[in-house]
């Protein structure tokens, strides 16, 4: 079974802090994605990566950056957390030629 | 603007009922439509549809795509409390691994 692991289920941070959300997948997938999920807005794509060191902006990249130094790991970085970044963050991965995304359990981030 | 719209937003039914969830889309360069089930954890894959009119079926769940009218439905028959979840619809575009998600339908099945 594909496993996508997000490092934290719950995280509480203060405004202005630098926040790292980590995601690791164990199936050698080329593609990895970061979404945020908010009530009434569904899943919105922040960034995705289709290869090591490659990244593409999604629909809402402002205030976020990403890092993909190794194929299995995709990190989401909030350079200076703000209260409007309080949300559920979901990581996903997929094979390059396949459409099915496999999701992690999510990180619920609260920024106070 | 590409978008995916799901309806209804929420639904409460009794065990044994049949439900139909809707997903309509306006996405340039459509490639596939996917359904996911999200309980209090990671969304899990249910179906992927690429061809119009071909029903995908898994147990009590089935789904079909209409590419002419740009929508899909997810049917659940003989619902059980374990079917309570948010059901997400996503459409993939041909352009660079881009997926568009709907807001989801929250289904609650009461005994």
Q: What is the pLDDT of residues A61-90, one digit of tens each?
A: 999 999 999 999 999 999 999 999 999 999
**Residue B49 pLDDT exceeds 80:** yes
**Residue A1 pLDDT exceeds 80:** no
What is the per-residue burial (b if ≥16 Cβ within 10 Å, else e) of A73-94? ebbbebeebeeebbbebbbbbb
pLDDT of residue B83: 97
**Residue A96 pLDDT exceeds 90:** no
Residue A43 has its nearest CB partner, among B32, B48, B88, at B88
Chain A contact for B88 (CB, 8 A cutoff): yes
pLDDT of residue B54: 84
Residue A41 has its nearest CB partner, among B31, B88, B103, at B103
CB A42 within 8 A of CB B88: yes
Structure tokens at B41: 């954890």
Residues from chain B contacting residue A104 (CB–CB below 8 Å): 42
**Residue A98 pLDDT exceeds 80:** no
pLDDT of residue B56: 92
The answer to whether A100 contacts B103, with C-beta atoms less than 8 Å apart, is no
If interface means Cβ-Cβ distance under 8 Å, which residues of chain A face chain B?
A: 4, 31, 33, 35, 40-45, 48, 50, 56, 58, 90, 94, 99-106
Residues from chain B contacting residue A57 (CB–CB below 8 Å): none
pLDDT of residue B53: 81
pLDDT band at B8 (very low <50, low <70, confident <90, very high): very high
CB A42 within 8 A of CB A54: no
The pLDDT tens digits for A19-41 are: 999 999 999 999 999 999 998 88
Eight-state DSSP code of residue A52:
T
Chain A contact for B29 (CB, 8 A cutoff): no
Torsion sign (Cα): B61, B55, A93, A62? negative
pLDDT of residue A15: 97
CB A69 within 8 A of CB A55: no
- Please tell me the distance from the alpha carbon of residue A56 to that of residue A73, in angstroms, as a whole number: 16
């Amino acid at each position: 079974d594909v496993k996508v692991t997000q490092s934290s289920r719950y995280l509480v941070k203060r405004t202005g802090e630098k926040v790292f959300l980590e995601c690791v997948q164990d199936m050698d997938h080329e593609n990895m994605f970061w979404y945020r999920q908010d009530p009434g807005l569904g899943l919105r794509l922040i960034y995705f990566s289709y290869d090591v060191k490659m990244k593409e902006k999604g629909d809402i990249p402002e205030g976020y950056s990403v890092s993909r130094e190794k194929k299995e790991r995709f990190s989401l970085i909030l350079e200076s957390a703000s209260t409007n970044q309080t949300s559920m963050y979901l990581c996903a991965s997929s094979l390059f030629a396949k459409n099915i995304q496999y999701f992690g359990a999510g990180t619920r981030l609260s920024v106070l | 603007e590409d978008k995916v719209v799901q309806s209804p937003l929420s639904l409460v039914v009794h065990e044994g009922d049949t439900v139909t969830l809707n997903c309509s889309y306006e996405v340039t360069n459509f490639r596939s439509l996917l359904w996911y089930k999200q309980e209090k954890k990671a969304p899990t894959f249910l179906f992927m549809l690429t061809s119009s009119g071909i029903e995908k079926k898994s147990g009590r769940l089935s789904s079909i795509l209409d590419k002419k009218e740009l929508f899909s439905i997810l049917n659940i028959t003989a619902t059980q409390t374990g079917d309570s979840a948010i059901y997400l619809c996503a459409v993939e575009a041909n352009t660079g691994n881009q997926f568009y998600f709907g807001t989801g339908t929250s289904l609650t099945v009461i005994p």
